[in-house]
Structure 1
Amino acid sequence: MIRFHKEGYKIIVITFIITIAGILLAEKFIDINWLTKAIQILCIALLIIVLQFFRNPKRITKINDNTVIAPVDGKVVVIEEVEEPEYFKDKRLQVSIFMSPINVHVTRYAMSGTIKYSKYHPGKYLVAWHPKASTENERTTVVINNSTFGDILYRQIAGALAKRIVNYATESETVIQGTDAGFIKFGSRVDLYLPLGTKLNVKLGDKVKGGTQVIANK
């Protein structure tokens, strides 16, 4: 059975109503048969796109404090040592995962631990793979303290089409690896900042699966 994320319920209902209305109105008021069918097909296609975007497949996470799992579905577009200026203010290993509009957009906790920091930043809507997206786009920054890795930072970043980031992390909360951490609507990216020397199980260009795939080990 297909599940949908709660952040999409309102949009799904509205889109369903628009789809039904469009189909019925085209049937009643347009006399050109091919045009009627074209409009009806477009309405159905819109509904299918919205449904697939907000799908929330069940993922079974093997909880392990010695692993970091992919927080989202997508493609690994950055692996590099960088200066993290907001929280750590020192060098970290950055792993960035880009989500296209056809990816599942649920954000999941990459590890279990306690939320030490959670902050929303308004900003621009540069394309998600832009080098300055991490510091200039609308984004949320969350730090989880884990017994094995210490502090790990992840950042949800809005893209050119993403107009709303949903973040469920609250400071001092204890979270469980693989559970729902938020949602980013319509194309985006998530950056992970890991301790230098962390052993990665992914490389540039790899496609990862959120909630199940191990991307790093201690």
Structure 2
Amino acid sequence: MTLKALVHVVDDDAAVRDSVQALLASIDIDTLCYASARDFLDAPNTMQPGCILLDLRIPDMSGLELQTLCADRPQRKPVIFMTGYGDVDVSVRAMRQGAAEFLTKPVNDERLLQTVREAIELNRAEQAEYNRRETLRARFDLLSERERQVLEGIVEGGSNKQIAQTLRISHKTVELHRGNVMSKMRAGSLAELVRLYMGLESEARLA
């Protein structure tokens, strides 16, 4: 079942919040509105795909500071800035910090809707990738230390006999561990098992 999108609007101007909420409701997108950064941070971190529409100047902290905090959250969402006070330096900084877009008020309705749609689709893709990685990590965590050693031997191209000699265990024990590895990692073939492991290795290097 596909989760419905939810857009978070952080702006101290009630008129702006109401206007954006009504606009997004017209295309059946739900919103949650916050008058300050603290209100947003105190709210539960929802799992629904979506984005954050963020004013640059808000109570408690700047929009850029809130953007930085949002980047550290699990299941983070794309940030779209909407401000009447933007300048080139600030917009460049926001984009370098990963903002999806930097819009100047008053924002054209069609442009805002298109930007929000694109951000939501981006977030759906990011969440799918996040879920895939978490599932893969969970499978790997099920492996015993010996099974991980056997897996490393398989990835290095070792035969059962070579792995048995390296680990100083019997050929039959290697076969048993190999079967467990394939089952726990849910790999349908040796090639798929290697791809899964390489994905974990690549992620570990980037962490």
Scaled by the length of structure 1, the TM-score of the pair is: 0.27
More helix by share: 2
Higher relative CO (Cα under 8 Å, sequence separation at least 6) belongs to 1
TM-score after normalising by structure 2: 0.28
Decide which structure has the larger Cα Rg and report it: 2
